[in-house]
Amino acid sequence: MRRITVTIVAAAALAAATLGLSPSSASAHEGPALEKQSWSWQGFFGGYDPAALKRGFQVYREVCSNCHSLRLLYYRNLSDPGGPGFSVEEVKKIAAEKEVRDGPNDAGDMFTRFARPSDHFAKPFANDNAARTANNGALPPDLSLIIKARNGGPDYVYNLLMGYKEAPPKMVINPGMQYNTVFPGNQIGMPPPVSEGIVTYADGTKATQEQVAKDIVSFLNWAAEPELVARHTLGLKVLGFLFVLTILFYALKIQIWKRVH
């Protein structure tokens, strides 16, 4: 019996270590309480707001794309159903704002050309070393899956963007770092990316800091999960089918047992 107990305890400890569920690791991953936001895509019937996605893309294009890439997105995705709702012609113009490296040509040389809708989003830097050099040694992360890669998802990213504050009097901030209430260690190399009026929205929406933060988070959530609307639509169709099928089976059951009785 003792051997069995020891084996169970050892197995539990191994599982906890494997999953990172030990008390010390669990407390290490506990960050500050995140201010929960209401997002349009949450819930079974949730979906994206095309206007918010367009504003979020504008924030990315004018602010975030100077340092951060979106390597998993194609320009053509901007016209996909359930997305920002850009027309094909608009997407062509957006893509043509950037140049990408292509080749080799017939002579065996690499060349640059204007981007097309079929291209991935252009990267802001040629390589990681160039990105580090331009950002005091820090490597700006790709934003394609940033919402999925952080505990708290959209709430974490929103709180991070809003979490730039004055450092406590006794806290020593390293050179080139900013105090942030949400980032682990409370010191982050990225300067405050969003602020009041940092963009002038094309649709006339007032660009408050909160609005800008919510819009870019909406866009990044769509970038990480562009199939969400299609998945929700398919789920509703499946539930409708099962509901009708249940009614048919119930009617069949009544007919069968009516003859028996």
Tens of pLDDT, residue by residue, the chain (261 residues): 444 443 443 444 433 333 333 333 333 345 678 999 999 998 878 889 999 999 999 999 999 999 999 999 999 999 998 899 999 999 999 999 999 988 888 888 888 999 999 999 999 999 999 999 998 888 999 999 999 999 999 999 999 999 999 999 989 999 989 999 999 999 999 999 999 999 999 999 999 999 999 999 999 999 999 886 667 666 767 878 888 889 888 888 888 887 776
The pLDDT of residue 179 is 96
The pLDDT of residue 232 is 64
The pLDDT of residue 31 is 64
How many H-runs (helices) and E-runs (strands) does the chain carry? 9, 4
Contacts 24+ apart (CB under 8 A), 32-40: 32/159, 32/181, 32/182, 34/152, 34/155, 34/156, 34/159, 34/182, 35/155, 35/158, 35/159, 35/162, 36/155, 37/154, 37/155, 37/158, 37/214, 39/154, 39/217, 39/218, 39/221, 40/218
